[in-house]
Structure 1
């Protein structure tokens, strides 16, 4: 495993990985046109190229000998859905399911935590689907706490998401 900042040349790999993880995580009973259209329009090479070109967010990838197997995206200036949280969000955090349990998620999360500390920040937050028990368990094991619930919207449908926050203890 090698961690590094994402490059524009990673855009297609990031899009493909995102589609794989999103579909395998959330579409357990088949792929409907509704969800397929969302995934194919949301996770595109062009969107990742634009995001990387803009350069505002921290996007770190995990790379093995064959390619990218995970990434984390951290953004500042993101209003939290719950009052009293910071504006620092883990927007996306995906690891290919076949690579779970290898320390990739822990390593990516540590990079994000270190980045926040280096910026003098004391808290980060994220949302995850309320039915995604493996992700929730992972976050809770890393010290996150559930601070609320919000909805993730696709077209006119809403899906409950846990809002989780992590206080960053000082380095020491």
Structure 2
């Protein structure tokens, strides 16, 4: 099935929210869903939040779309300060591909679209934060020439989760 990489539009907001909930819960909630994480996901991943993000001039969102609908997304934020020194100021805030579509090149295609956009916008590199327990994602980014630049934490209320900061020059 052919995949198209394109700019996200406001009409994609609900699909982006559903995709984000699916991937986030599937990646990070492995022992059962409790109210703490469910409330966080339902607060963070809403169509209204995506519509707002799509209007933000500092953000760029690309989607991968197959014949049925959206199966992946990448979001970049220009001017984002990295939590460690020496990183560029463009963050890859999100790179999600539905689990059943992983391994077929969609993540690489989305990443390449994001990197090309950053490069054509005059940026020298990008950075991202990845959960320290997500070995599959870390290995993916290493295969794409990202290097570990330090550590940070993803915070949900009073809980902190170790993330690695990775960077890549363009």
| Alignment TM class, shorter chain as reference | over 0.9
2:32 counterpart SS class = coil
- CA displacement at 1:65 relative to structure 2: 0.8
Structure 1 runs not aligned, ≥5 long: none
Show structure 1 runs of 4+ deviating over 6 A. none
Distance across 1 between alignment mates of 2:50 and 2:138: 26
Match of 2:125 in 1: 123
Q: Quick one: which of 18, 35, 40 aligns to 1:16?
A: 18
Structure 2 runs not aligned, ≥5 long: none
Distance across 2 between alignment mates of 1:54 and 1:162: 26
Give the count of matched residue pairs. 168
Distance across 2 between alignment mates of 1:106 and 1:144: 13
- CA displacement at 1:56 relative to structure 2: 2.9
Provide TM-score, normalisation by structure 1.
Answer: 0.96
1:61 counterpart SS class = strand
CA contact (8 A) 2:148 2:165 kept: yes
Structure 1 residues 2, 45: CA separation in 2 closer, same or farther (over 3 Å shift)? same
CA contact (8 A) 2:58 2:79 kept: no
CA contact (8 A) 2:77 2:90 kept: yes
Distance across 2 between alignment mates of 1:123 and 1:150: 19
Distance across 2 between alignment mates of 1:145 and 1:83: 14
Q: Quick one: which of 63, 79, 83 aligns to 1:81?
A: 83
* CA-to-aligned-CA distance 1:22-56 (integer Å, 9 cap, x gap): 00000000001000000000000100011112343
